[in-house]
């Protein structure tokens, strides 16, 4: 079978879905790999490296015409191009934002094309090596701290100098999943005093494990975690009580990183305008939930907002800003998934008895086959 690797069409997307090291390993599966010329350049991988790994360098039409096509973005303008060109026997693999845009799975199903949404890889031990959400969140958490450090009017570590003692920065991480935990660890490594809060009680130990201090808000709620390990959506009353309790903690911080997300839902507002009013001038907020509405009421996507001396950043596609490592991790996740669904003769074998296949394939043989998406579309 032919495996296509097109160049991402969005000008701001520097990542690529497979790197040459993945090609070297995947051709052993008897796959013929077609790489669109320049596909890896922005991530630091030349055509020559792909060629040396065993791929053929092609044009876009040939890469998009393969049997299996791997992409970073199977959404946005690239999705529009694909839906117009897709053929029934093809399988597209990429990030589809499926819980927010289930209609895209339906559109591909109408063309008879198969699609696999990487965000739906189940959070089970066997699928960890295929989990792009964790890979990308790791990078986002790390980079968020660097963005904050770059903007901050102070340094992170305590320093005893001939010109006096400098106090360490105080950093507060709100939402401690994969990104938040990496943000805690990165801020700690830079020398900040780090505190963190998550709605899920299980996060407490993880916060302690990276040397940060959990903030307890004493807010009773029964249902904080779903079966898949994600945060459950909370009532308006809970969010209001959470905001009140949080205001005092926030007023003492220099750096705030927010990462709170509920899959398929708008991000919860954890920081209101009034809470920003009570913060110290010079504080930096990096809102990693900006793409899903933001955890801070004042966040503007891809803008720097300055409010009473507090700077609020709402960057999009933060993992893409570390494109080499993001592509390495993403490519390895896809490689592991391909090894599950392609046999040693290079033929596609979708075993719907397998939980990973069942959860991630969204469109197949003219149908939306994923139960969650079918519910959303009903
Ligand atoms: P996420 O990106 O969906 O959300 C980020 C964090 O925000 C979560 O920790 C969530 O609890 C928190 N949050 C949501 N609403 C909040 C609120 N109102 N106040 C404070 N915090 C709030 O989460 P994620 O990074 O994808 O990880 C979710 C969980 O899944 C974590 O426990 C992670 O360790 C676990 N996980 C398990 C596996 C696996 O077992 N294979 C893989 C990856 C992640």
pLDDT tens track for 57-109: 999 999 999 999 999 999 999 999 999 999 999 999 999 999 999 999 999 99
The yes-or-no answer on residue 197 being catalytic is no
Does this complex have an ipTM over 0.90? yes
Is the CB–ligand 1 distance for residue 140 below 6 Å? no
The yes-or-no answer on residue 328 being catalytic is no
Is the CB–ligand 1 distance for residue 226 below 6 Å? no
Confidence of residue 243 (pLDDT cuts 50, 70, 90): confident
Retrieve residue 87's tokens. Answer: 């053929």
Atom number of ligand 1 nearest to Cα 206? 34
Give nearest CA residue, ligand 1 atom 30: 229
- Report CA(90)–ligand 1 centroid distance (Å): 33
Is the CB–ligand 1 distance for residue 291 below 6 Å? no
| Cα-based distances in Å from 165 to 158, 161, 342, 357 | 7, 6, 60, 57
The pair phi, psi for residue 279, each rounded to 5°, is -85, 160
Is the CB–ligand 1 distance for residue 292 below 6 Å? no
Query: What is the average per-residue pLDDT within 343-360?
Result: 95
- Report CA(193)–ligand 1 centroid distance (Å): 22
| Cα-based distances in Å from 377 to 6, 116, 117 | 29, 17, 16
pLDDT of the residue at 360 = 97
pLDDT of the residue at 221 = 65
Is the CB–ligand 1 distance for residue 259 below 6 Å? yes
CA atoms within 13 A on the CB side of 348: 21
| Cα-based distances in Å from 290 to 117, 139, 293, 371 | 22, 16, 5, 28
- Report CA(12)–ligand 1 centroid distance (Å): 27
Confidence of residue 2 (pLDDT cuts 50, 70, 90): very high
Is the CB–ligand 1 distance for residue 137 below 6 Å? yes
- Report CA(305)–ligand 1 centroid distance (Å): 26
């Amino acid at each position: 079978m032919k495996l296509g690797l097109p160049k991402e069409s969005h000008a701001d997307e520097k990542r690529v879905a497979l790197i040459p090291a993945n090609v070297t390993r995947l051709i052993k599966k008897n796959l013929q790999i077609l790489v669109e010329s320049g596909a890896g350049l922005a991530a630091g991988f030349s055509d020559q490296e792909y060629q040396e790994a065993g791929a053929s360098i092609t044009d876009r039409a040939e890469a998009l015409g393969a049997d299996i096509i791997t992409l970073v973005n199977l959404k946005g303008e690239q999705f529009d191009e694909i839906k117009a060109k897709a053929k029934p026997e093809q399988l597209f693999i990429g990030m589809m934002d499926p819980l927010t845009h289930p209609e895209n799975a339906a559109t591909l199903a109408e063309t008879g094309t198969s699609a696999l949404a990487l965000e739906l890889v189940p959070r089970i031990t066997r699928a960890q090596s295929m989990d792009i959400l964790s890979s990308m969140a790791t990078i986002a958490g790390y980079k968020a701290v660097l963005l904050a450090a770059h903007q901050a009017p102070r340094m992170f570590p305590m320093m005893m100098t001939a010109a006096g003692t400098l106090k360490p920065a105080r950093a507060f991480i709100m939402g401690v999943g994969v990104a938040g935990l990496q943000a805690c660890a990165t801020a700690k490594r830079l020398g900040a005093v780090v505190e963190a809060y998550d709605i899920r009680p299980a996060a407490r130990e993880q916060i302690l494990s990276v040397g940060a201090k959990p903030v307890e808000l004493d807010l009773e709620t029964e249902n904080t975690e779903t079966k898949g390990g994600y945060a459950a959506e909370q009532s308006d009353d809970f969010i209001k009580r959470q905001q009140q309790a949080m205001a005092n903690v926030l007023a003492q911080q220099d750096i705030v990183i927010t990462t709170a997300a509920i899959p398929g839902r708008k991000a919860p507002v954890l920081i209101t305008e009034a809470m920003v009013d009570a913060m110290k001038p010079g504080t930096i907020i990096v809102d990693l939930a900006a793409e899903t509405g933001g955890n801070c009421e004042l966040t503007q996507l891809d803008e720097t907002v300055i409010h009473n001396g507090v700077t609020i950043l709402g960057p999009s596609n933060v993992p893409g800003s570390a494109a080499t490592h993001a592509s390495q991790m993403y490519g390895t996740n896809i490689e592991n998934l391909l090894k599950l669904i392609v046999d040693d003769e290079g033929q596609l074998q979708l075993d719907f008895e397998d939980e990973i296949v069942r959860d991630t394939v969204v469109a197949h043989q003219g149908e939306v086959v994923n139960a969650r998406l079918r519910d959303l579309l009903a």
